[in-house]
C-alpha cells in the first residue's frame, strides 16, 4: 500500500509538472494572462461551508490565486494516487489508452466542480479554450502514465529479456475476438437489466475463485437481479434512459467486461469499449421494444417478461468461459519469443 501511494504521489507530481509546462507555454505563445478560474473555484467551494478567504484587495486576490494553485496540485497528485491504486489492483490499459483515461479523469476533476459551482460554463468555451484544456490534461496523462510505468517494481535488468517479456505480455494480453464479442453481448444484457453486467460473470464458474467468496458474490448478485426484475415492472420506476439509470447500465456493462478481461489476463481497452457500447445499445433497444410493444400490441407485462428472458440469455452467452485456456495462450506467446538453448554436443 505504501509503495502504491508513493508511486502515485510521484506520478501525480510528474503529471502536474507536465500540465503546468503546457499551460505556461500556451500563455507565452498566446500572450494571455493566467486563468483565475481555479482560485474562484476554491473560493466558491469554501463559501458552500460558510468560509471566506481572509484579507482585502490585492492581499485577498493573492491568497485566492495561491489556493487555486494548491488545489490544482492536490487534484493532480490525487488522480496520480488513484491511477496507481487502479494499476496495483490489476486494471491495466495500453499506454495510449491509459494516458488518455488518466488525462480525462484529471480534466473531469478540474472542470466538473468548476461547472457545478457555476464558476465557468464549459459550453461557452471557445474551441481554443477546449484545445488548451485537452492538450494540458493529455500531457498530464502521458507523464503520469510514464512515471507509473517507470516506477513499477520488478523490472528486468537484462534489456534483451525485457523486450522478449514485453512482446510475450502484449501477445498474451491481446484480447481475442471472442472476448470482445462476449463483452459486447454482456453489455447488451447490462443495458436490458443493469444488474446482469456483473451478475453474469459472478455466476460463471472460473478457476482460482474461493468457494465461500463465490457463494457470497452469487447471493448478492442474485438478490440484485431479483430486485431489478421486480422493480422493472413497477409503474413508478424511472426510465432507463434517464441520466442516472443510463450511467448505471454503462458502468455495469464496462465492469462486466473488466471482469471477463481480467479472468483471461487480457488488456481492457477493446472489451470495455465493447461492453459500454453494448450497454448503450441494450438500453436504447430495450426501451424501444417496450414502447413499441405497448403501443402496437398492448403488451406491458408480456413485453417486460420477454425482455427479461432476452437479458438473461445474453448474460449467460456473454459470460461463458473462453474455449482456449489463458495458460495456453501465455505459453504459446512465450515459446514463440524465447529461443531454447541448443543441446550440448556429443562429440
Q: Which of 18-22, 95-99, 288-292 has the lowest mean pLDDT?
A: 95-99
| pLDDT tens digits along 180-223 | 999 999 999 999 999 999 999 998 866 555 455 567 878 888 99
Q: List the helix and strand counts (H, then E) for the chain.
A: 13, 0
For residue 268, count other CB atoms closer than 10 A to its CB. Answer: 25
Q: How confident is the model at residue 162 (pLDDT cuts 50, 70, 90)?
A: low
CA distance 79 to 87: 12
Alpha-carbon span 185 to 257, nearest angstrom = 10
**Residue ranges per structural domain of the chain:** 2-155, 177-323
Q: What percent of the chain has pLDDT over 70?
A: 83
* Burial degree of 46 (CB within 10 A; 0-12, 13-18, 19+): middle
Q: Cell numbers at residue 330, please?
A: 501465455
- Percentage of the chain lying above the pLDDT 90 cut: 48
Question: Is the Cα dihedral 54, 59, 65, 67 positive or negative?
Answer: negative
pLDDT tens, 24-42?
999 999 898 888 999 999 9
Residue 88 predicted with pLDDT over 60: yes
Q: Residue 346's pLDDT is what?
A: 39
Amino acid at each position: 500500500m505504501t509503495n502504491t501511494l508513493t508511486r502515485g504521489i510521484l506520478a501525480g507530481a510528474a503529471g502536474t509538472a507536465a500540465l503546468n509546462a503546457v499551460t505556461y507555454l500556451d500563455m507565452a505563445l498566446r500572450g494571455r494572462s493566467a486563468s483565475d478560474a481555479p482560485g474562484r473555484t476554491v473560493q466558491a467551494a469554501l463559501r458552500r461551508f460558510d468560509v471566506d478567504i481572509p484579507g482585502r484587495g490585492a492581499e485577498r486576490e493573492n491568497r485566492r490565486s495561491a489556493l487555486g494553485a494548491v488545489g490544482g496540485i492536490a487534484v493532480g497528485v490525487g488522480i496520480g494516487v488513484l491511477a496507481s491504486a487502479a494499476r496495483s489492483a490489476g486494471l491495466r490499459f495500453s499506454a495510449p489508452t491509459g494516458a488518455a483515461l488518466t488525462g480525462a479523469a484529471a480534466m473531469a476533476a478540474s472542470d466538473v466542480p468548476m461547472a457545478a459551482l457555476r464558476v465557468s460554463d464549459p459550453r461557452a468555451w471557445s474551441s481554443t479554450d477546449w484545445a488548451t484544456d485537452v492538450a494540458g490534461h493529455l500531457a498530464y496523462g502521458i507523464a503520469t502514465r510514464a512515471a507509473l510505468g517507470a516506477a513499477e517494481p520488478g523490472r528486468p535488468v537484462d534489456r534483451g529479456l525485457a523486450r522478449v517479456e514485453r512482446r510475450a505480455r502484449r501477445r498474451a494480453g491481446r484480447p481475442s475476438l471472442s472476448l470482445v464479442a462476449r463483452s459486447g453481448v454482456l453489455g447488451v444484457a447490462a443495458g436490458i437489466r443493469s444488474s446482469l453486467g456483473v451478475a453474469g460473470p459472478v455466476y460463471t464458474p472460473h478457476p482460482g475463485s474461493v468457494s465461500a467468496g463465490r457463494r457470497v458474490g452469487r447471493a448478492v448478485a442474485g438478490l440484485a437481479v431479483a430486485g431489478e426484475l421486480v422493480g422493472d415492472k413497477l409503474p413508478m420506476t424511472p426510465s432507463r434512459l434517464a441520466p442516472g439509470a443510463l450511467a448505471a447500465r454503462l458502468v455495469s456493462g464496462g465492469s462486466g467486461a473488466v471482469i471477463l478481461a481480467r479472468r483471461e489476463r487480457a488488456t481492457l481497452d477493446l472489451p470495455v469499449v465493447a461492453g459500454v457500447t453494448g450497454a448503450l445499445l441494450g438500453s436504447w433497444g430495450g426501451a424501444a421494444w417496450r414502447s413499441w410493444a405497448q403501443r402496437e400490441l398492448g403488451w406491458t407485462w408480456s413485453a417486460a417478461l420477454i425482455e427479461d428472458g432476452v437479458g438473461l440469455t445474453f448474460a449467460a452467452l456473454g459470460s461463458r468461459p473462453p474455449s482456449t485456456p489463458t495458460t495456453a495462450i501465455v505459453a504459446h506467446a512465450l515459446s514463440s519469443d524465447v529461443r531454447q538453448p541448443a543441446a550440448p554436443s556429443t562429440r
